[in-house]
Structure 1
Amino acid sequence: MKKISYERIYQSTKYLSPLGDVQHRALFGGYTLAVDDTVFAMVSDGELYLRACEESAQYCVKNATSFLTLVKRGRPVLLNYYRVDEGLWRDHEQFLQLSSFALEAARRERRQRYTMHRLKDLPNLTFQLEILLYDAGITNEETLRALGAEQCWLKIRALNKRLSYKVLFALEGAIVGLHEAALPDTRRRELLAWFNTQPLTNEIHSGS
């Protein structure tokens, strides 16, 4: 089967050469195909799979394409890669166009990952607090701002009762872009007054 996969890799790199220098690497029993370290296709069991994207959605629906499933840690994992059938291999123009769509979609996602700020990159937010926010469903800065410090605090307090007013200050600082110590006194008093209206538990203390 490895020989068949290598034959398919050779065929794929030949057909896809107009997109650039196509490199392959082993992954989960299959092989990734990439241009400039951007993975846009995979080869598994002698079959080529292209990364699905918005531009290829119509083709996938029309042709009822099958998607790649790999076994990871003993479990089948369905990946967002659709099989290139013999008809598509014969249609070189469409094959190259769909491959170009796959590569560009992968490049867009890669650019977005590089430009997207993690929550812990905001003022006051530690790695531990980032994990709590993620567990509470607050995974990005937009959601953090939309909810506000008080609602975010309530959501993560549901996961960790040992949550203090200092975390509330930290969240507010992250939203407005200030270290919590630099928050205006008026806002600090507002937050502390709100904090004092929350039901007390024996576990609340001044730490995080």
Structure 2
Amino acid sequence: MMTKKGRIERITQLLNPLGAIKVRTQFGGYSLSVGKAVFAVVAEGELYLRACEASKPYLCERKLQTLELQKRGVPVRLDYYRVNETLWREPEQLVAISRLCLQGAQYHNELSKQAVGMRSLPNIGHQLERLLREAGIKNISMFKAEGAKACWLKLRALNKHLGLNTLYALEGALSGFHYQALPGEVKAELRSWYEAKVDQLERQRYR
């Protein structure tokens, strides 16, 4: 019978084409990562691949079992899928799917970094950052390129209840000010633009 250490070694050797795989304890088992991107875990000796948008169709098509953990006595299913014997017998396919999972994990990490970067700006909390991402503004560079007014218009298209304070918050984030500390002349110019734009949007609505 293969030992736990032997099982881990077999898995890392098979998935070696993905890069230098690091093994750490996680979920009562072990996580597998390349760099900082965790793409799989080993629980009770079984390999579970972390699903992403690209890999999930392949994993679901094979009807693989999901990883289930107990959280405060309640079973919680995670988006990790157990590699079955059929897939073990197809090492090239296993490596290919694992590569998709790794790329998905790397992409997720990159989005997380960008999100933290956005929230490092004044006035950008979790909710406003989420709205910006929904509007296609995914990082600080895109935010600066669009500018406060263009971003506000995109956010307003998603949520018609956003008002002048959101515009102040966006301008403050770009200028390095808390929205209440914006210079008076800046606020006045933004208020004038806002009132004209809201009036225009309302007239378009009732045409």
Q: Measured at CA, do residues 151 and 93 of structure 1 come closer, stay the same or move farther in structure 2, by a change above 3 Å?
A: same
8 Å contact 1:69–1:77 — kept in the other structure? yes
Confirm or deny: 8 A CA contact 2:168 2:190 kept in the other structure.
no
What SS does structure 1 have at the residue aligned with 2:162? helix
Per the TM alignment, residue 63 of structure 1 is displaced from its structure 2 partner at its CA by 1.4
Pairing 1:95-174 to 2, within 5 Å after superposition: 95-116=94-115, 119-122=118-121, 124-125=122-123, 130=125, 134=127, 139-142=130-133, 143=135, 145=152, 146-148=154-156, 151-153=161-163, 167=165, 170-171=168-169, 173-174=171-172
Percent of paired sites with the same residue: 31
Q: Tell me which residue corresponds to 1:90.
A: 89
Task: Give the aligned residue type for 1:173.
Answer: E
**Count of residue pairs the alignment pairs up:** 171
* Change in CA separation of 1:116 and 1:138 when aligned onto 2, cut-off 3 Å: closer
The amino acid across from 1:147 in the alignment is L
Unaligned runs of 5+ in 2: 136-150, 196-207
Helix, strand or coil at the partner of 1:80: strand
TM-score (norm. length: structure 2): 0.66
Q: CA deviation at 1:94?
A: 0.6
> What's the RMSD between the two structures over aligned residues?
3.3
In 1, distance between residues paired with 2:56 and 2:116? 29
Amino acid of the residue matched to residue 161 of structure 2?
A: Q
Query: What is the 5 A alignment of 1:1-208?
Result: 5-116=4-115, 119-122=118-121, 124-125=122-123, 130=125, 134=127, 139-142=130-133, 143=135, 145=152, 146-148=154-156, 151-153=161-163, 167=165, 170-171=168-169, 173-174=171-172, 177-178=174-175, 179=177, 180-181=182-183, 183=186, 185-188=188-191
